[in-house]
Structure 1
Amino acid sequence: MNVDVDDFFGTYTPRLDDKARLFLPAKFRPRLEDGIVLTRGQENCIFGWTTASFKEFTDRIRNTPFTNRQARNFVRMLYSGASSEVPDKQGRVSIPGVLREWAHLDRDVVVVGAMDRLEIWDATRWAEFSAQQEEPFADMSDEVMPGIF
């Protein structure tokens, strides 16, 4: 498989420990050892970005006019729940309460690689989301993703 080494990919099923810490997947740890930015993600998951990817993403957001209500609301949601974390020596990061509540995390979680970021999902919600996406994924066409198919 020829995948960009900077991409996160795969599905992993770690658990939160009693202190709400997540063991990052071993394959992701080298890219995240200097830090990870956790933010609210769409569909009530948590996005995890390398600090460089988060900066690149937010630099693009800075170009949107603050007079646009949707842009302001997006920035508010993104930043109000954001947290910069540094993994400990065992590769664990703390998941702040506001993000655990947003993603409905308890103990069983799923970490999904999503190209330039990872996503942290409640295991049950991920299973439901995945099941709902099977048919749309199979029906993917050039109308949905122009120039890809």
Structure 2
Amino acid sequence: MFLGTYAPRLDEKNRLVLPAKFREQLADGLVITKGQERCLCIWSLTEFRSLTEQLRQAPLTSKAARDYMRVLFAGASDEVPDKQGRISVPQNLREYAGLDRDCAVIGAGRRVEVWDVAAWERYLAAQEETFSALSQEVLPGIL
């Protein structure tokens, strides 16, 4: 499980240093995809295979499913971290997420999200006010 918030920077070769706590889970390889709200998602190979299997259950007659899979897979990049825990972030994905230098890397349970730091701060500020109220709707009977 991925938890926490970190603030690495892209280096001059557009590589991102993965947080030390995430490296073991991602050491064998990972997949970077477009995420919602203009962030990037980093999936371990195991989790990406599980996601792919779930998507295979969607009917091909569903336009929404076809559209989602096309965007997800067409923009995806498989990477293997180097010995320093760095991964290359392809240009198309950097442009999609508006990544320049300063990043926010957050643990999001089954995946890691990479945000432009200013975009993350705006998103977080907008969401924190409704966080408590949403917990009752998102997890009825649990919280």
Q: Which runs of 5+ in 2 are unaligned?
A: none
1:9-37 deviation line (CA, Å, top 9, x unaligned): 00000000011000000111111111110
Identical-pair percentage: 53
Classify 1:14/1:141 alpha carbon distance in 2 versus 1 (closer, same or farther; 3 Å): closer
Match of 1:123, as an amino acid?
A: V
Residue in structure 2 matched with residue 66 of structure 1 by the alignment? 60
Equivalent pairs, count: 143
Q: Which runs of 5+ in 1 are unaligned?
A: 1-6
Match of 2:129, as an amino acid?
A: E
Q: Following TM superposition, by how much is the alpha carbon of 1:69 offset from its aligned partner in structure 2, in angstroms? A: 0.6
Residue in structure 1 matched with residue 6 of structure 2 by the alignment? 12
1:43-94 deviation line (CA, Å, top 9, x unaligned): 0000000000000011001000011010001001100110000001111000
Match of 2:79 among 82, 85, 99: 85
Residue in structure 2 matched with residue 27 of structure 1 by the alignment? 21
Q: Secondary structure at the match of 2:136?
A: coil
Match of 1:24, as an amino acid?
A: L
Aligned-partner Cα distance in 1 for 2:42–2:127? 22
Whose helix proportion is higher, 1 or 2? 2
Aligned-partner Cα distance in 2 for 1:144–1:116? 17
Is 1:121 aligned to residue 98 of structure 2? no
Match of 1:69, as an amino acid?
A: K
Aligned-partner Cα distance in 1 for 2:24–2:135? 35
Q: Secondary structure at the match of 2:107?
A: strand
Q: Following TM superposition, by how much is the alpha carbon of 1:144 offset from its aligned partner in structure 2, in angstroms? A: 3.1
Is 1:108 aligned to residue 87 of structure 2? no
Q: Secondary structure at the match of 1:128?
A: helix
Residue in structure 2 matched with residue 140 of structure 1 by the alignment? 134
Q: Secondary structure at the match of 1:89?
A: coil
Match of 2:96, as an amino acid?
A: W
Q: Following TM superposition, by how much is the alpha carbon of 1:141 offset from its aligned partner in structure 2, in angstroms? A: 4.0
Q: Following TM superposition, by how much is the alpha carbon of 1:146 offset from its aligned partner in structure 2, in angstroms? A: 2.6
Match of 1:23, as an amino acid?
A: V
